[in-house]
Copies of this chain bind each other. A is one copy, B any other.
Amino acid sequence: MQRSIATVSLSGTLPEKLEAAAAARFDGVEIFENDLVYYDGSPRAVRQMAADLGLDILLFQPFRDFEGAPRDRLARNLDRAERKFDLMAELGAPAILVCSNVAPDAIGDEAVLVDDLRQLAERAAKRGLKIGYEALAWGRHVRSWHQAWRIVQKVDHPSLGLILDSFHTLSLKDDLTGLDQVPPDRITFVQIADAPIMAMDVLEWSRHYRCFPGQGAFDLASFLAPIVAGGYRGPLSLEIFNDGFRAAPPRPNAADGMRSLLHLEEVTASHLAAAPAATRAGQRASLFQPPPPSRYAGFEFLEFAVDETAGPALAGWFETLGFTHVGQHRSKNVALYRQGAINLVLNSEPDSFAHAYFLLHGPSVCAMALAVDDLQGALDRALLYHCQPYAGGVGPNESVIPAICAPDGSLIYFVEEGAAPSIYETDFVPVEAAGEGGPAHLASIDHVSIGLPDGQFDRWLLFYKTALGFVADDTFVVPDPYGLVRSRALHSIGDAVRIPLNISESRNTVLARSITAYGGAGVQHIACATGDIRAAVATLRQRGLRFLAIPRNYYDDLASKFGLAQEVLDELAALDILYDRDADGGEFLQAYSEAFGGRFVIEIVERHGYRQYGAANAPVRLAAQAASASRSPYSFDELEG
């Protein structure tokens, strides 16, 4: 199948749009008329430019308010069409999209619509062009694909076909029955868009909120599967009207589009796999089918980019937190710290990826390693989804740890679950524990939160859904004293790896300020699971770890919400531990360290049958973080000496 994108989906001038589409490996494009009108070059030059980039111009669009216009305007409308045919000839576009008339004075009599479209088809035929007729969800009379298809059948002209658009069909919750019965040669084109479910005017929804497949909530596979089952093998084209996309750089956005289209093909192929065996193999053959998502076993390690100054400071903080220096890399300036099943790696090796990352972002988490049951499958899947692979320098007899780049340029390593010898055994020399304090009840990594700059949520969502096969939870919107923060967690199948993504809708929130300080997206905090949060907090506080101070008013409110015993409340308040309970009685306790060096936060969590992340406590935590940030810094300097 040809993969295509409409120029309206991307920002920039027409050459910028075409270049972005080609770079993302699309086969073709739909030229949106306005992109041509506003471009200072001839249609012939655009044709040449597309050809040079290896892109087919598959469709010219849209031609509006044609069929059923008041009778005195028909002749002028046909003239108008001829002008567009001239333009298409120069452009080399084989087909034009005619969308159903939305004018208040449009005629609804089907015989008139059929007659008008027949005249148009006859004229197109003389020019060797095709007309594709599409039902707009807000058309005056023709709104459903069934209506458009009935009209196309009645016209019965080889130059007139049907255009199907997932948004128009799914936004109306239109009946999909019969989609697989439309002969494939009568389908001129298939346009794909996803969208979040919104109870709003469908025209506004369509014009501003469409998004790439997988970023919204439509069941696109239920739309595409019958079309493919019916034999359609023509172009699949992304036609996305989205305010954010209009403002986003076109190249990464086009790359997202390609990834989303591949994902839709994967999901559609799974959908078709449920069909009778006789037909399904052939149907699916044309679709993208990567290895299925892997089962991840957990976070293997987190790697911190540091230098000679930040390294010892952070190491000191880790030791306060109960981590022990257990290994030193055989050939690199890399130290391994461990507590329970948590491995933290401090990388200050010059000329390394970590060093480059340090130069860009300062002390930061530059990589996370995930343990996976099927290493090759995980890697293959990510690469087929066009992820950038990464391979670092490896010393003799050291492990090769394959990796891919996340959207912010940080790395995700894949490590085989339970491999023997382990990467720690092959690559690290054991260190005699220097043993100050010892462990502090932290057992494993519960989750890692990533803070994203404005407008990048959908990109990351798509990355984790495709490259890693993760599943997204619901979105929470949480008030910060200076704006709103939107949070949505992703988790691997089986839940062992959990990554909440947080994005700020204001430049003033605690999150946005930390992202700015960080110089981009980044790990915002690391949540460590414990079986005894009271003991963990008490131990760490005794060692001088600074916890976020929670207002007493919060505990008074907790009392009226959950009816906790006074002594429990007092104990939680004394330890600054937050509490939540879900509808099924699952309990959650959490405490946050102050941000070390204005960046690194450890959250300590104790779960009792509770699956979420304490969204109810996020506002008080954000308010406490804002207050903490405006007080004395908890800095590298403090722990250095």
Residues of A near any B CB (own CB < 8 A): 11-13, 16, 33-34, 36-43, 76, 79-80, 83-84, 87, 198-201, 204, 243, 246-247, 479-484, 505-509, 549, 551-554, 556-557, 559-561, 563, 619-620, 623-624, 626-627
Contacts and interface: CB of A to CB of B under 8 A. Distances in A.
A34 B619 contact: yes
A37 B578 CA distance: 13
A39 B553 contact: yes
A507 B247 contact: yes
Closest 5 CB pairs of A and B: A247-B506, A247-B483, A38-B623, A40-B551, A83-B560
A619 B247 contact: no
Contacts of A624: 38, 40
Contacts of A559: 83
25 contacts: A11-B481, A11-B483, A13-B623, A13-B627, A33-B557, A36-B553, A37-B551, A37-B554, A37-B557, A37-B620, A38-B553, A38-B620, A38-B623, A38-B624, A40-B552, A40-B553, A40-B627, A42-B553, A76-B563, A79-B563, A83-B559, A84-B560, A198-B200, A200-B200, A243-B484
Protomer copies: 2
B246 A484 contact: yes
Contact of A201 (B199, B508, B560): B199
Given A246-B482, A483-B11, A508-B247, A560 B80 contact: yes
Nearest to A11: B482
Nearest to A558: B37
Given A484-B246, A620-B37, A556 B199 contact: no
A505 B553 CA distance: 39
A16 B481 CA distance: 10
A485 to B, nearest CB: 10
A520 to B, nearest CB: 16
Nearest to A627: B40
Given A482-B247, A556-B83, A556-B87, A38 B551 contact: yes
A507 B563 CA distance: 49
A624 to B, nearest CB: 8
A33 to B, nearest CB: 7
B619 A554 contact: no
A246 B506 contact: yes
A508 B13 contact: no
A37 B553 CA distance: 5
Contacts of A41: 551
Nearest to A76: B563
